Amino acid sequence: MSRLGDLIRLERTRQGLTHKQVARKCGVSDKYLMEVEAGTRIIADDQARRILKTMGMTQQTEADFTLDDIAATVDLQSAVPQLTKAVEAKKAPKAKEEKTNDSADPGVAGSIWLDALSGVLKHVPVYNAVMKEVGHRLLPITNGKIEGASPDKVYYFMAPDNQLRGFRVQRGDLLLVVPAQAAVDGAIMLLQTPQGRILRKIKRVNDYQAMLQKYDEAFESEIKNYNELTFVGRCVRLEADLT
């Protein structure tokens, strides 16, 4: 499925336009447009941008979502039901209000687009070792959650050192953290210590103890009682820079 084709379909749906109407506006055939949306025909980036611009969609929105962000990240098919609902909600008021909305500036229609996107995209913060925000990543929301957790509760933690290098986590790598207050056997977890937050691989020993593992030049471990540990979250995704 073409992401750019999905994006064109989503914008066309938002405006309630038919393939023929958009094709006439953009100087292409409706068959060509249908094939692009279906993903059976490849469309160049500049051609897709021209079509979207002709339909009135801007490169950058109020929410800082670029076309590249959207096309590369979200399953746009999942946004269509939410977008349709948002459009219907805008049409619900009295006829007089509808007339006013029709003559309103493009920002009103654009807000429908943003309302729909806010349900499928989330700026997830990236924190360093002292929990200072140093960036963000754009992630899709599925059924109201990211990796099974509330979108507002997840974040990326930047590995501060190479103490988990033997587990393929190196300094500067980003780990997506979801809330977890109990040990998860075999998981890499984020813990709060008097010295700050640390990453360790966890091995459950029994109902009272867990083994904290690290692996840089050599494998090391220590056994701690659960009442000595403060688990912050479980790492469920790793993003590494290959350059």
pLDDT in tens, 194-207: 989 999 999 999 99
- When pLDDT is cut at 50, 70 and 90, the band that residue 115 belongs to is low
**Is the backbone of residue 64 left (phi > 0), alpha (psi -120 to 50) or beta?**
left
Answer CATH for 123-239 from 2.10.109.10, 3.40.50.2300, 2.40.30.10, 1.10.10.10: 2.10.109.10
Q: Domain locations in the chain?
A: 3-118, 123-239
The string of DSSP codes covering 46-82 is HHHHHHHHHTT--SB-TT--BHHHHHHHS-GGGHHHH
- Taking residues 213-223, what's their average pLDDT? 94
pLDDT in tens, 87-103: 566 556 544 444 444 44
What percent of the chain shows pLDDT beyond 90? 44
- When pLDDT is cut at 50, 70 and 90, the band that residue 60 belongs to is very low
Answer CATH for 3-118 from 2.60.40, 2.60.120, 1.10.15, 1.10.260: 1.10.260
217 neighbors 128 (Cβ within 8 angstroms): no
Torsion sign across C-alpha atoms 167, 171, 172, 178? positive
Q: Which DSSP letter does residue 195 get?
A: T
Give this prediction's pTM: 0.60
Compute the C-alpha angle 70/237/203, nearest 5°: 165
- When pLDDT is cut at 50, 70 and 90, the band that residue 233 belongs to is very high
SS3 21: helix
pLDDT score at 154: 96
